[in-house]
Amino acid sequence: MIIIGEKINTSRKAIRPAVENKDTAVIQDLAIKQVESGAHYIDVNCGTFPFQEPELLEWLVNTVQEVVDVPLCIDTPNPEALERALKANRNGKPIINSITAEKERYNSIFPYVLEYNTSIIALCMDDSGMPETADDRLRIAEKLIESMTKEGVKLEDIYIDPLVRPVGTGSHYGLVALQTIEKIMNEFPGIHTTCGLSNISFGIPARKLINQAFLVMAIGAGLDSAILDPMDKKLMSFIYAAELLRGKDDFCMNYLTAYREGKLES
Ligand code: THG
């Protein structure tokens, strides 16, 4: 499972003032703790500051890479912010988060994937909006995969995001995301799927419980990456258990190693 740490995001109450005041210590502490907890990438998002986003995203990239070596997941639809972040990047091949099949967004973001040789998260939406059914999402994914691979992007650099919408706003949204993951993983061996896990639980109580249950189900459907809170030890424990049960952990090696290292909370 490729873990993308979600915590450096100005939509979070603790992060907004830290970015606004350029509080290096708060950001660096979260970067270090997420990596220590098992994050393979650090997501950086300051989208709640649309007018200062280019400057603040560049600052986030520089601040994070002063203290950790893992690559970044650059979370912005703003091409100017993206370019500043990519220019500042020193931590190896980043993931651009994200592109969609919306014409304008695709055309403004895709050139950076080629120019900077990055990985890319592609959301299953287009100019007609967020599709309701798994089949409609699959069709958009097919279109995105075809146009990007035609330009030379490798399947292993593409992360399809089925779009996880809060179950509180429609009780079918969990199932739709799960079905989309399964269809994509079956149709395109070698591709990745990822999602914003915590989206599933917006607006309902005991969110962690919902996130944990959904992650197990999504791993069952074939999900192999997620943007999540790596500092949730129970959640991380469920990843080891679910991957073992899904047949992705030969001889239980990863599970047993995690157990020995005290990483499992049972
Ligand atoms: N897909 C992709 N990228 C994404 C998302 C996605 N990036 C942003 C988001 N969705 C994933 N990141 C988060 C980060 C935090 C939370 C949810 C998703 C979160 N925050 C709590 C809240 O807002 O209630 C924390 C509250 C707080 O700390 O103040 O749940 O879907 N590709």
Please enumerate, as own/partner, the contacts of 174-178 that have beta carbons within 8 Å and a separation of 24 or more.
Answer: 174/200, 174/214, 174/217, 176/132, 176/133, 176/134, 176/137, 177/218, 178/217, 178/218, 178/220, 178/221
Q: Are 229 and 198 within 8 A, CB to CB? A: yes
The ranges assigned to domains in the chain are 232-266
Hey, which of 199, 209, 212 would you mutate to test ligand 1's pocket, going by the most ligand atoms within 8 Å of its Cβ? 199
At 131, the amino acid letter reads P
Half-sphere exposure of residue 209, counting CA atoms within 13 Å on the CB side?
A: 3
Q: What is the pLDDT along the chain (266 residues), one digit of tens a residue?
A: 999 999 999 999 999 999 999 999 999 999 999 999 999 999 999 999 999 999 999 999 999 999 999 999 999 999 999 999 999 999 999 999 999 999 999 999 999 999 999 999 999 999 999 999 999 999 999 999 999 999 999 999 999 999 999 999 999 999 999 999 999 999 999 999 999 999 999 999 999 999 999 999 999 999 999 999 999 999 999 999 999 999 999 999 999 999 999 999 98
Give, using CA atoms, the residue closest to atom 12 of ligand 1: 6
CA atoms within 13 A on the CB side of 234: 8
The closest residue, in CA terms, to atom 27 on ligand 1 is 12
Per-residue pLDDT tens digits for 10-21: 999 999 999 999
As beta bridge partners, residue 159 has 121, 192
Is cis: bond before 98, omega within 30 of 0?
A: yes
Pocket of ligand 1 (CB under 6 A): 6, 9, 11-14, 45, 75, 97-98, 121, 161, 164, 195-196, 198-199, 227
Atom number of ligand 1 nearest to Cα 13: 29
- Nearest residue CA, atom 7 of ligand 1? 196
Question: What angle do helix axes 79-88 and 53-65 make, rounded to 10 degrees?
Answer: 20
Indicate which residue's Cα is closest to atom 2 of ligand 1: 196
